[in-house]
Structure 1
Amino acid sequence: MQLTDYTREFHKNLKIAYPVMLGQLGHVMVGLVDNLMIGQLGAAPLAAVSLGNALVFIAMSLGIGFSFAITPLIAEADGADDIEGGRSFFHHGLILSTLNGIFLFIILLIAKPLLYYLDQPEEVVELAVPYLNIVALSMVPLMAFQAFKQFADGLSQTRYAMYATLLANLVNVLFNYLLIYGVWIFPRLELEGAAWGTLISRFFMLWFIWEILRRKVKFSEYFKWSKKEMLKLDIFKKILSLGFPTALQMLFEVAIFTGTIILAGNLGTNPQAANQIALNLASMTFMIAVGLGVTATIRVGNQVGLKHYKELRRVAFSIFLLVFLIEAIFAVLFILLKDILPTFYIDNLEVIGLAAQLLIVAALFQLSDGMQVVILGALRGLQDVKMPTLICFISYWVIGFPVSFYFGRQEQLGSMGIWLGLMAGLTSSALLLYFRFNYLSKKLIRSKQQKLEYGTT
């Protein structure tokens, strides 16, 4: 194939991806706003948000990863023009995601005492606990929202979740401002105020997407509920069989980033604050890749429904090429702006200097980070989740984390060593996942060719 066979898909890829990108950035912006506003209170409150969110991010990765199972099932049903099947997947996915949100809320409350045993600064832990109490409850509306989002994404209607997320971000900014600093009639709650802003914005986000989807004619058939469709054990099992490994994939990746927070905390308050700044910036560029990863799931899932496997491979590679080019641009920007970006968060010179060093490493792993999430999305479209889960575990916890643990010690490379481990894990993941997709896509093409040859002889 020629290069233009891939580049001509860029427009369609971006048309599907850009609302997901903006929506995912909206999620990150909630954290960004919290960090910027709380950073004005000092390094300890900023480190406390980082520590409290360490547990929240793990729970969120499990929940969001689980909900990702809905998208390929809806996309395949849409490709096969099977509305009844798509409706059933949507209803069952919504029930499971909501129950998952309640479960994660309870787990976070139970896990809260762990913060006292992570060898973190005492002042940071004391600030983090009340913050975590409130943010934990936001898992319930967030997971229900995810079910609606993944359903709409599976139908290639990605803009509605974007609207909900961006508006919710404005709600979060407003209540953060009122409750962190105690403006007008509102009390000054500082860190807890940021948590309440997050909770309120996520309930708003859920209400908005439910309201907008149910009113659209395009979705009307999917919002028809009947008792016979409500509980089908085989549908629950299918979603669970895809959702649980997908949740583990996200858990393994988010957990290693959470591990860096804990390792950085062992180095002190300032290294932990610098680590939080670098993670927040890197997560914003990562969400661009997540948007293209969702696009890969949708478009590959559609081609699976149509059984067009050569087209599937061409479309997937067009997305791989696109994310490579975008992440290369971000890598250059991180290097050029490494001394400027941290100043938007805090005015502590030591924290700014440490964060600038970490952004150099973050720039280097932009390419592999973007590639691995997009290839995972393509494999999800193929409904291949078990082997990628094993690949993620090996890459992050057999290869990446040991490097972070050894070189992240004070007597070694400190914070830089921690992030070199991240780069090793992400690069390993990208390479192994590519080999997996290449093998499976070629296997599907060969299988179809053999069937055609057999049928004509």
Structure 2
Amino acid sequence: MHETRTKKEKVLMLIKIVFPILVTQVAMYLVTFFDIYMTSRYGTEDLAGVSIGSSFWVPVYIGLAGILMSITPIVAQLMGAKKKEQVKQAVQQGIYLAVLLAAIVFTFFYFGLDSLLALMNLEPEVADVASRYIFAMSVGLVPLFVYMTLRSYIDALGATRVTMVISLLSAPINIFFNYLLIFGNFGFPELGGAGAGLASAITYWLILAIATWIIQTRNPFTSYRIFRNWPKLSLSRWIEISRIGVPIGISIFVETSIFSAVTFLLAVYGTVTIAAHQIALNFTSLLYMLPLSISMGATILVGYEVGAKRFHDARQYSWLSVGTAIVFSFLSACVLFFMRAEIATLYSSDPVVIKMAIQFLLFAALFQLSDAIQAPVQGALRGYKDVNITFVMALISYWVIGLPSGYVFANFTDFGPFGYWIGLIVGLTAGAITLSVRLLIIQKKIASQFVS
């Protein structure tokens, strides 16, 4: 990365940073996407089971992996401040923390998963698929968390094209193993939905191996010697990572878990409703990779400029990111609105599931704008290392405003299960407004200090 002086240079830099991140995010998400899609072609019960399983898996691992995302602003600010010698220790301590977090998640699933599933009164076949899917995925926890740390380090150096290449390899690897393990091709066991989980775990181990090899053998990474001279555990480094990362992780958790909470609440409506909801959520999540990628780019660029004390440039990158996401949100909404029937048909041949999925996709189109605003605003705030108030705002928006609104619409109006998606729209809109106000306050505060 380098200093930019004009808006044109900033736009080009934003594209340079964000495009590889987008390809990376899409490729990483395609692992889950094809788990859902290929399982949907196997059977409705397996689709519902993987849907429930991923609703447990995704918010837990994303929330804890979000802690490791703090490596990005930490390293970005160290680079901006010309403190390259401190980068290695930050990344190594992040790897230690990644292994610990993986162990915590595995322990949680091992001892608590069956009890949680029993509380949901699922059909026995669905509960069995969900349990086996999650335990299969858990085999890949350590490589997934360590890769998240390494990826944050690579991205913070501005080498986002490297993670793009690594992640591009993940999708075909995952599809290949899904083909073998879900359907039992070429003599492999036919595992159904559980096969999708095992295929993902194998994929995570392979991409970690690829990332490690690149960091060991390619510039500019070799000069940092990340995998040499491992230090002792540093409590002060863990505190620094956690101080920034825990609010980031919790913010991501409260945002992603609200979708999981909706999935659990929809379980009372039956397998068809769960399957239709998952179809809409799966495709919408794919479209969300664009504002999420812009958000991650904003964290890198804003963090770099803040580290260099170029606060005016940091402000420009913040709102340039938001504006870009808004433009693309209209395209996403159009895709969901005008192609909702075609999208539903991609996933299922069951006419009842298709009909309901089409209705869910209509509501999904409505929250594209709110999603496009809140994501890059959160990314910019992380670049400023402003994460505590952001977490509180996200918690209130999604869980205090959004989910209760959904419950009211679902249970006290004629919207039924679709009422929960109206609640999602309300929560995301509240988040977009409050987080934008927070960003304005932070920028105004910094500007006043800089002038004085």
- Shorter-chain TM range is over 0.9
| Mean Cα deviation higher: 113-122 or 4-13 | 4-13
| Mean Cα deviation higher: 407-416 or 395-404 | 407-416
* Separation of aligned partners in 2, 1:325 and 1:201: 34
Which of 411, 429, 432 aligns to 2:431? It is 429
2:381 alignment counterpart: 379
1:453 alignment counterpart: none
* Separation of aligned partners in 2, 1:449 and 1:227: 44
- Classify the secondary structure of the residue corresponding to 2:121: coil
User: Do structure 1's residue 121 and structure 2's residue 159 form an aligned pair?
Assistant: no
Which of 137, 162, 179 aligns to 2:181? It is 179
Amino acid across the alignment from 2:285: S
**Structure 1 contact 135–195 (Cα < 8 Å) conserved:** yes
Cα deviation for residue 170 of structure 1 reads: 1.1
Q: Deviations over 1:124-163 (max 9, x none)?
A: 1122211221112222111010000001111111122222
User: Do structure 1's residue 262 and structure 2's residue 264 form an aligned pair?
Assistant: yes
Which of 161, 164, 168 aligns to 1:162? It is 164
- Classify the secondary structure of the residue corresponding to 1:9: helix
Cα deviation for residue 93 of structure 1 reads: 1.2
Structure-2 change in CA distance of 1:233 and 1:282 (3 Å): same
Amino acid across the alignment from 1:306: A
Q: How many residues align?
A: 447
1:391 alignment counterpart: 393
Structure 1 gap segments, 5+ residues each = 451-457
**Structure 2 contact 66–252 (Cα < 8 Å) conserved:** yes
2:43 alignment counterpart: 42
Structure-2 change in CA distance of 1:237 and 1:415 (3 Å): same
* Separation of aligned partners in 2, 1:311 and 1:194: 44
Cα deviation for residue 181 of structure 1 reads: 1.4
2:239 alignment counterpart: 237
User: Do structure 1's residue 139 and structure 2's residue 141 form an aligned pair?
Assistant: yes
1:351 alignment counterpart: 353
1:65 alignment counterpart: 66
* Separation of aligned partners in 2, 1:378 and 1:15: 17
1:418 alignment counterpart: 420
Percent identity between the aligned chains? 30
2:343 alignment counterpart: 341
* Separation of aligned partners in 2, 1:59 and 1:94: 18
Cα deviation for residue 92 of structure 1 reads: 1.2
**Structure 1 contact 6–315 (Cα < 8 Å) conserved:** no
Which of 348, 363, 367 aligns to 1:365? It is 367
**Structure 2 contact 92–230 (Cα < 8 Å) conserved:** no
**Structure 2 contact 50–130 (Cα < 8 Å) conserved:** yes
Cα deviation for residue 10 of structure 1 reads: 2.8
* Separation of aligned partners in 2, 1:197 and 1:62: 22
1:221 alignment counterpart: 223
2:405 alignment counterpart: 403
| Mean Cα deviation higher: 9-18 or 288-297 | 9-18
Q: Deviations over 1:20-57 (max 9, x none)?
A: 11111112211221222211222111000001111101
**Structure 1 contact 120–262 (Cα < 8 Å) conserved:** no
Cα deviation for residue 241 of structure 1 reads: 0.6
Cα deviation for residue 408 of structure 1 reads: 2.3
| Mean Cα deviation higher: 4-13 or 193-202 | 4-13
Cα deviation for residue 185 of structure 1 reads: 2.5
* Separation of aligned partners in 1, 2:435 and 2:309: 22
Q: Deviations over 1:211-262 (max 9, x none)?
A: 1122112112322566584433221111011111111101101110001111
Residues 102-113 of structure 1: matches in 2 within 5 Å? 102-113=103-114
Amino acid across the alignment from 1:186: F
Q: TM-score, normalising length from structure 2?
A: 0.95
1:18 alignment counterpart: 19
Cα deviation for residue 67 of structure 1 reads: 1.1
1:455 alignment counterpart: none
Cα deviation for residue 120 of structure 1 reads: 2.6
* Separation of aligned partners in 1, 2:229 and 2:39: 48
Amino acid across the alignment from 1:81: K
Structure-2 change in CA distance of 1:74 and 1:213 (3 Å): same
User: Do structure 1's residue 315 and structure 2's residue 317 form an aligned pair?
Assistant: yes
Cα deviation for residue 76 of structure 1 reads: 0.3
Q: Deviations over 1:173-223 (max 9, x none)?
A: 111111111112212222222121111101001111111122112112322
**Structure 1 contact 267–414 (Cα < 8 Å) conserved:** no
- Classify the secondary structure of the residue corresponding to 1:41: coil
* Separation of aligned partners in 2, 1:42 and 1:224: 45
* Separation of aligned partners in 2, 1:24 and 1:86: 24
Q: Deviations over 1:396-434 (max 9, x none)?
A: 110000012222249631222010001111110111000
Amino acid across the alignment from 2:137: V
Q: Deviations over 1:374-398 (max 9, x none)?
A: 1111100101110000001000110
Amino acid across the alignment from 1:405: Y
* Separation of aligned partners in 2, 1:24 and 1:338: 23
Amino acid across the alignment from 2:334: V
**Structure 1 contact 275–415 (Cα < 8 Å) conserved:** no
* Separation of aligned partners in 2, 1:124 and 1:30: 21
* Separation of aligned partners in 2, 1:349 and 1:358: 14
Structure-2 change in CA distance of 1:398 and 1:94 (3 Å): same
* Separation of aligned partners in 2, 1:229 and 1:222: 14
* Separation of aligned partners in 1, 2:8 and 2:412: 46
Structure-2 change in CA distance of 1:215 and 1:410 (3 Å): farther
Amino acid across the alignment from 1:136: S
Amino acid across the alignment from 1:343: T
Amino acid across the alignment from 1:408: A
| Mean Cα deviation higher: 242-251 or 131-140 | 131-140
Amino acid across the alignment from 1:192: A
Q: Deviations over 1:295-339 (max 9, x none)?
A: 100011011111011111111111110011011111111111011
Structure-2 change in CA distance of 1:119 and 1:406 (3 Å): farther
Structure-2 change in CA distance of 1:218 and 1:230 (3 Å): farther
User: Do structure 1's residue 211 and structure 2's residue 216 form an aligned pair?
Assistant: no
